[in-house]
Amino acid sequence: MIRFRPLAFALLMTSTAALAEGPQLIAPLIPAPASVEAGTGTLTIGEGAGIVAGDAGAKTAARLLVQQVKVVRGLTLAGDAGTGPIRFVRDAGVAGDEAYVLTVDTNGVTIAASGDAGFVHGAMTLAQLLSPDAAIGKPVTLAAMTIRDAPRFKWRGLMIDPARHFVPIPTLYAMVDQLAAQKMNVLHLHLTDDQGWRMEIKRYPDLTRIGAWRTPPSSGGAPGPKVGGFYTQAELKALVAYAKDRAITVVPEIDLPGHAQAAVASYPAEVGVLGDRPAVSHDWGVNPWLFSPEDRSMTFIKHVLDELMDVFPSQFIHLGGDEAVKDQWERSPAVQAKMKALGLKTEMQMQSWMIDQLGEYLAKHGRRMIGWDEILEGGLPPSASVMSWRGEKGAVEAANQGHDVVLSPAPTLYLDSLQSNRSDEPAGRISGGDAIVTLADLYKYEPEPKGLAPDKAQHVMGAQINAFSEYFVTPEQLQHATFPRLSALAERTWSPKSTQDYAGFVARLEPQMGRYARAGIAAADSAFAVDFAVQGTRGDALRARKVPVTLATQAGYGTIRYTLDGTAPTARSKAYGSPLSLKSGVVARAAAFTGDGRPTAVPRLFETSRAALLRRSNSEMVACPGGSLNLRVPLTAEATALAPVYNINIFDSCTMYPAAPLDVARGFSVDVARLARHYGLAHDASKLVPHYAVTTYGELVVRAGGCKGTIAATFPLPDPATSPNRMTFRGKLPEGKGDADLCLQFTQSLESPIYAVESMQLTETN
């Protein structure tokens, strides 16, 4: 007898510790399926289980199932053996190309689908069912059940940006594997930008001979060797085919008319506006170089699109459209003449015309054009679909006009947003001042924006997370930013709208973290790691000689256990209950553990020595009044190892040590790093805050009592061209009554490299 088990209840059951052993009623699945019905009995799948797959699509899914189960469970299934307990069945009754019905009964598992994509999704569900825990290589006993599943949205995307930092092909393959494993179906490749052109174009070889390589910025000394890379068309075709087998479409982007500096550096006479040849950019942000809308340039772009369409069979081609400051067009007599001839009044209309022409060109070839929401500004070309990144307004406006849209609003769906404010978090953006985008923030994102007319909801194709890669130099950094937040978007875009179960999601994510690890993916443990927070000020703790500390994790999952004796915490260590009152000089170590005793993250530690309490790392400094700390950047732009990172405000290199205990501290030493200033600010350059320098290279000025307080010390800065990029300054502090902010201002010119405080150590003697 089949008993219906409502979804919410079924998923809740998975988060109870009782299920960790014995047959799984419902194993943890991400994304949560549309519906699950429990059956009766169990089925055990072990080493050598055979698969029956009829046609080519079924055989592909069977092959993927074998590969995935090997990775996530360490079991070797027998493959398409023509006999065995796992069957793929083509069934026209399962409506929708991506839908599948997976049935487990005492005889076997059947995956029924009408489309090849449904077979792949069903195979990935089964691979998750077969890896509910960390028992690698062990047979798995499944409860009888029927899963009926289909996606909520048809666009479930991840954008990767190999333009800012080249992403090697094997990393792209690994990303495709992970997309498939969680039923995401679009890989958007941002193939061109100011900092690099990454696709071989046979007709225009300089696009990669010149445009794929840039000289890194320098913080003073000689610049390093060029960095970059590109994909051959053969490599991209192979990637597209690999993705297609996994039910994933690769959508290419050629960004225009802005973000064109690498193209203009390669072919200034063909696509440039004012005739000059810039270097390929090493400046992040917004740069002035545009593609010209003149005939010579339009013809060039169409030739590029011809080769692009040959490599990428996707329905959609992304043409960018974002952040194109129009100054070059404003100053070009030829562009102005073109606008006049076309009867266009503004440069935004010129952009709209250009995008529309190219959209029409794509349409003639049976393709559809999509662009960032700026393409709305000059009037939305009739042919266009919109990817909304500056909030949701663009999506709402476009959908209400009847255009298809994809939601990818910053900062929530931007993976370069830091996911925690821990000091061990690698580089990224600190959105909107000091905000972070946690796993929970992403999970709570609802892809159906408010303000959408009820009859226009079908124009929301789905949502996409974007991994813009200014701050991701290595594959590991890209993976850290992407996973596990990708799991959250997978669920938001696949599972029914009613699936809003963060606690259940986190419980289901815990085994998924194991799958990531077994696939060699460097997923972030930021949501599971223990954070230590001192209650009150450090000064209060120093005066009381006791440190009140609370322990928490972002996800709130598992039991936090800690030690104070220098050993690593284990499942038998003391469980954290209420705030700790630590004496001076101990090192607390803590991690959260699952019900069956596995740590969910690497233990983190907290020191209570007086010296540790008097030290502020860069991430514990705060923004100066009027400022915002908005980036966390590495020591050098191309640093590939675990280089130190620095929170900086690119508009004002002023930072504060908050609440310094001036009755306790007598002196200080401050470690300073000099970083390349390489940000294309365009019209935002007017927001730069200058500080008046009184020596050749500027000074570090330390003030007590905030940025208008007394000057405690002034240190002239060295010549950037001849001095190392890290230095230490030592000084005395004026005696004070209690806590006061220390303000650290760098007064170097706005053309010089940026200085950041690496850490500030207060001392009890001077």
**251 vs 713, beta carbon nearer ligand ACM:** 251
Footprint (CB under 6 A) of ligand ACM, residues 584-643 = none
Q: How far is the CB of 325 from ligand ACM (least distance, A)?
A: 12
Cis peptide before 31 (omega within 30 of 0): yes
**How many angstroms from the chain centroid is the CA of residue 81?**
40
Is 193 tagged catalytic?
yes
3-state class of 24 per DSSP? Answer: strand
For residues 380 to 409, the per-residue mask of contacts with ligand ACM, x marking binding by CB under 6 A and - elsewhere, is ---------x--------------------
Closest to ligand ACM by CB, 371 vs 753, is 371
708 burial type by CB count under 10 A (0-12 exposed, 13-18 middle, 19+ buried): exposed
By CB under 6 A, name the one of 372, 532, 557, 651 that touches ligand ACM: 372
Asked whether the CA dihedral 554, 559, 564, 565 is positive or negative, the reply is negative
Residue closest to ligand ACM, measured at CB: 322
Q: For residue 754, what are the contacts with CB-CB under 8 A and spacing of at least 6? A: 648, 650, 653, 674, 675, 676, 677, 746
- Is 389 or 646 the residue whose CB approaches ligand ACM more closely? 389
Residue 286 · residue 682 · CB < 8 Å: yes
Instruction: Say what the alpha-carbon torsion angle 268, 273, 279, 282 is, to the nearest 10 degrees.
Output: -140
Which lies closer to ligand ACM via its Cβ, residue 416 or residue 491? 416
259 is an active site residue: yes
Between CA 475 and CA 170 the distance in angstroms is 10
CB of 168 to ligand ACM, least distance (A): 23
User: Measured from the CB of residue 265, what is the shortest distance to ligand ACM in angstroms?
Assistant: 20
Site for ligand ACM in 47-86 (CB under 6 A): none
Encode 653-670 in three state secondary structure: CEEEEEEEECCCCCEEEE
CA dihedral sign, ordered 568, 573, 577, 582: negative
Site for ligand ACM in 500-559 (CB under 6 A): none
Please report whether residue 470 would count as binding ligand ACM according to CB under 6 A. no
CA atoms of 612 and 327, how far apart (whole Å) = 51
Q: Catalytic pick from 149, 194, 270, 323? A: 323
Q: How many CA atoms lie within 13 A of 550 on its CB side?
A: 7
Contacting residues for 80 by C-beta, under 8 A, at least 6 apart: 51, 52, 53, 59, 62, 63
**CB nearer ligand ACM, residue 364 or residue 683:** 683
The nearest distance, CB 399 to ligand ACM, in angstroms, is 18
Cβ distance to ligand ACM smaller for residue 372 or 606: 372
Residue tagged active-site, from 190, 259, 282, 403? 259
- In angstroms, what is the minimal distance from the CB of 192 to ligand ACM? 13
- By CB under 6 A, residue 323 contacts ligand ACM: yes
Distances from the Cα of 513 to the Cα of 30, 100, 528, angstroms: 11, 25, 10
251 versus 672: smaller Cβ distance to ligand ACM: 251
When the beta carbons of 163 and 181 are compared against ligand ACM, the nearer one is: 163
> At closest approach, how far in Å is the CB of 468 from ligand ACM?
6
Q: Which of 149, 180, 355, 166 is nearest to 250 (CA)?
A: 180
State the nearest-atom distance from the C-beta of 374 to ligand ACM, in Å.
Answer: 8
361 binds ligand ACM (CB under 6 A): no
Distance between CA 516 and CA 178 in Å, rounded? 8
Tell me how far apart the alpha carbons of residues 100 and 542 are, in angstroms, rounded to a whole number: 62
Q: Which of residues 204-243 bind ligand ACM (CB under 6 A)?
A: none
Residues 707-726 contacting ligand ACM, CB under 6 A = none
239: closest CA among 322, 306, 289, 172?
172
Smallest gap, in angstroms, from Cβ of residue 643 to ligand ACM?
25
Instruction: Give dist(CA 330, CA 646) in Å, integer.
Output: 38
- Shorter beta-carbon distance to ligand ACM: residue 109 or 481: 481
- Which run of H or of E encompasses 393? helix 393-400
Rounded Cα gap, residues 756 and 573, in angstroms? 39
Element housing 755 (H / E): strand 754-763
Contact 213, 198 (CB under 8 A): no
Nearer to ligand ACM, 177 or 323 (CB): 323
Q: How many residues bind ligand ACM (CB under 6 A)?
A: 5
Q: Which residues of 390-417 are buried (b: 16+ CB within 10 A; e: fewer)?
A: eebebbbbbbebebbbbbbbbbbbbbbb
Type of residue numbered 516:
Y
Tokens representing 633 are 């950047």
Q: Which of 322, 327, 448, 684 binds ligand ACM (CB under 6 A)?
A: 322
CB of 110 to ligand ACM, least distance (A): 43
The distance of closest approach from Cβ of residue 189 to ligand ACM in the complex, given in angstroms and rounded to an integer, is 14
Least Cβ distance, residue 254 to ligand ACM (angstroms): 14
Between residues 220 and 371, which has the closer beta carbon with respect to ligand ACM? 371
Supply the minimum distance, in Å, between the C-beta of residue 310 and ligand ACM: 26
Residues 6 or more apart in contact with residue 295 via CB below 8 angstroms = none
The helix (run of H) or strand (run of E) holding residue 8 is helix 7-14
Residues 241-300 within binding reach of ligand ACM (CB under 6 A): none
Joined together, the tokens standing for residue 122 give 């069903």
Active-site pick, 80, 177, 193, 356: 193
* Residue 471 binding ligand ACM, by CB under 6 A: no
Q: Phi, psi at residue 342, to the nearest 5°?
A: -90, -5
Give me the torsion for CA of 367, 371, 377, 383, rounded to 10°. Answer: 10
Smallest gap, in angstroms, from Cβ of residue 390 to ligand ACM?
8
Q: Which is nearer to ligand ACM, 116 or 255 (CB)?
A: 255
Rounded to 5°, angle at Cα 334 from 328 and 339: 90
CB-nearer residue toward ligand ACM: 425 or 470: 470
Element holding 479 (H helix, E strand)? helix 475-482
472 binds ligand ACM (CB under 6 A): no
Residues in the chain: 766
Catalytic residue numbers?
193, 259, 323
In the complex, the residues that contact ligand ACM under the rule CB under 6 A are: 322-323, 372, 389, 468
